Amino acid sequence: MGWQEDLKLLGEQLTSGEITTAEYRKRSESVLAEADREAAELAAAETQPTERPKPRIPVSAAWEAPSGEMTQIVGTQDKTTLVANSIADKLDRPDT
């Protein structure tokens, strides 16, 4: 019998006068607590992760196959170009 049927039976016993209001409250709280415990156990069993074997990664794997997230230095020369008489300079001085 499920917890819903248990509560229905308790309600019928209460309305027929077989049990008191205090007894109904006590027994219905017990039924609901048991239902909560069973639901929690079921949910915990369903959500436990399955153990997968972890692959062995060699220590030198980063050197053997570098990923795109590694820093790579391409060149060391600074090739900054200075521009004289830029458009920005002309916008600041409308008389030229």
d(CA 71, CA 23): 72
35, 6 contact by CB (below 8 A): no
C-alpha 26: how far from chain center: 38
User: Could you tell me where the beta strands, DSSP code E, fall in the chain?
Assistant: none
For the stretch 4-63, pLDDT in tens is 999 999 999 999 999 999 999 999 999 999 999 988 888 877 776 667 777 777 666 555
d(CA 96, CA 91): 9
Predicted confidence band at 79 (pLDDT cuts at 50, 70, 90)? confident
Q: Is 54 helix (H, G, I), strand (E, B) or coil?
A: coil
DSSP structural state of residue 84? S
